[in-house]
Structure 1
Amino acid sequence: MMRFEGKSIIVTGAGSGIGRAAAKLFAAEGGRVICADKTEGAAETADIVTAAGGKAVATQIDAGVESDVERTVALAVEKFGGIDIMFANAGISGGLANILDTSVELLTEVLRVNLVGPFLAIKHAAPKIVERGGGAIVLTASVAGIRSGAGSPAYSASKAGVINLAQVAAQQLSGSNVRVNAVCPGLTETGMTKPTFDYARDAGKMDRVGRLNPLRRAGQPEELAEVVAFLASDAASYVNGQAIAVDGGLSSSHPVTRQEYGKTAV
């Protein structure tokens, strides 16, 4: 399939994980991608895309700084003539502190990157997408934004905000032919979660990673990228203002004593 033939696409947080996987998939299906990240991983991703025969341009940005986002949008217009798709994926974890141990400074920084970043992406990309006749914006939220138990207070609050932002933006862009949706990953192996996975491997406990969801495993960036690509494609032309959980089924249930397959519950 070439779902994104000739499309101009911005991916923030493209330096690793879900962002890199999405950039590769967009480009493999004909998209022209601006790979934006705060790290040098942006250039690495662009090099990977280019080596595979795709089209990509790298830029280093802070997704929570308005001038950086404006510059990235201008780059897409300069290099590819406009914008058709914005994937606002950049984010930070904010650690594991509980509410009583979370400083205002930490909360503010997490919100700046994780919530202000997607807000800026919508604010500056949407008008350019409208100029092209419409398109799609996809935001990376999290299952932590759906309910408690999957992240720190700062991270969870920021991702809940992203879900609501997608809903509000979908409504306020009514009639523009710009769709806005959020993807909500469960535990996925990315640059942000690397310490967790490295610890599990070193301790010989990989069998415990992701064990709380019905699939009993963590997700891979490529699996999330497939859902992002669907939401960005014409196949999702009637999907708007939604938050799609991609979490192995984790968010489908409240905490329970799980019944093991083939065994009687106790």
Structure 2
Amino acid sequence: MRFHGKSIIVTGAGSGIGRATALAFAAEGGQVIAADKSEAVHETAALAGGGAIAVQMDAGSEADVERVVALACDRFGGLDVFFANAGIAGGIDSIFDQTAELWAEVLRVNLIGPFLAIKHAAPRIVERGGGAIVCTASVAGLRSGAGGAAYSASKAGVINLVQTAAQQLSGSNVRVNAVCPGLIETGMTQRAFDYAREKGVEDKIGRLNPLRRAGVPDEIARVVAFLASSEASYVNGQAWVVDGGLSTSHPVTRQEFGKTAV
């Protein structure tokens, strides 16, 4: 019961990593606000039993982030943990086929969202004597070869953001870290997994990492729970990679200029 009586916000909690982590927090006694744009967040709260409240919100909207932080403080007397997990994929097209509008939206959700979480959550966490903020980055943010251009750039930004925030929160007892998932079966990747199953090649999913398999949301949730807990009391400003070893190499099919990758 590492989170007994702790006030916790999880964005992107409607499915995948966000749902798994919200349930993990609630199972360990956390008072959880499960937030997501999707109505599926209500199902997450129901699965968590009496330990969660569902809120539909846009993680890239400052007004919505302020509202959900205020709700946590009103309902639970303050805030201890914020897991800024909400994100969108943005496609895998070549940079030269993507639009500025697409990039703006990916950055708004994937990078500005965590910035807003830190901006509005950290002062409230300080009021409780300290706590943790965890942001979802990605192995795609470490180097090329694991995601589309807009998505990868946004996640690289998240990694630097947590480093910068950790420094600017010096002396506050608020730790800020990122988790960098590899290939995980979530709503964002579901189409690829479904396609592989349809074609009978499910065994090829995740074959490029040393564990030769994809991950599941609960494997990320366990790491997030650790980073958010007092067990990680000396972990700050770090990007924890959970990818089966994929980022030790990042093997990739090259996409040549003017050609479509095979």
TM-score, normalised relative to structure 2: 0.95
**Aligned partners of 1:232 and 1:219: how far apart in 2?**
20
Q: Residue 239 of structure 1: SS of its match in structure 2?
A: coil
1:174 maps to 2:173 = no
**Hey, what does 1:229 align to over in structure 2?**
225
3-state DSSP class of the match of 2:156? helix
CA distance in 2, matches of 1:254, 1:156: 13
The number of residues matched between the two structures is 252
Contact 2:134-2:177 at 8 Å conserved across structures: yes
Indicate the residue corresponding to 2:209 in structure 1.
Answer: 213
Q: Please identify runs of 4+ aligned residues in structure 1 that moved more than 3 A.
A: none
Residue 72 (structure 2) aligns with: 76
221, 236, 243: which one aligns with 1:240: 236
Q: From the superposition, tell whether residues 196 and 82 of structure 1 become closer, same or farther in structure 2 (CA, over 3 Å).
A: same
After superposition, residues 1-266 of structure 1 pair within 5 angstroms as: 2-50=1-49, 54-253=50-249, 255=251
The separation in 1 between residues aligned to 2:251 and 2:134, in whole angstroms, is 29
Q: Aligned equivalents of 2:82 and 2:120: distance in 1?
A: 10
User: For 1:46 and 1:155, how far apart are their aligned partners in 2?
Assistant: 28
User: Whole-Å Cα distance in 2 between the matches of residues 201 and 66 of structure 1?
Assistant: 39
d(CA) in 1 for partners of 2:249, 2:88: 26
Q: Is the 8 A contact 2:145 2:251 kept in 1?
A: no
- What's the secondary structure of 1:181's corresponding residue? strand
Distance 1:44 1:170 in 2: 33
SS at match of 1:159: helix
Over residues 169-228 of structure 1, what are the superposed CA-to-partner deviations in whole Å (9 max), with x where a residue is unaligned? 000000000000000000000111111111111111111100000000000000000000
Once residues 240 and 186 of structure 2 are traced to their aligned partners in structure 1, the CA distance between those partners, rounded to angstroms, is 19
Unaligned runs of 5+ in 2: 253-262
Structure 1 residues without counterparts, runs of 5 or longer: 257-266
1:140-163 deviation digits (Å, cap 9, x = unpaired): 000000000000000000000000
Q: Please give the secondary structure, in 1, of the residue aligned with 2:48.
A: helix
Look up the match of 2:255.
Answer: none
Query: Is contact 2:146–2:250 with CA below 8 Å preserved after alignment?
Result: no
Query: Following TM superposition, by how much is the alpha carbon of 1:98 offset from its aligned partner in structure 2, in angstroms?
Result: 1.1
Amino acid at match of 1:27: A
TM superposition shift of 1:36: 0.2
CA distance in 1, matches of 2:197, 2:56: 31
Deviation at 1:254, TM superposition (A): 5.3
SS at match of 1:244: strand
Paired AA for residue 40 in structure 2: G
Shift of 1:253: 2.4
Root-mean-square deviation over aligned CA pairs:
0.9
1:255: how far off? Answer: 3.7
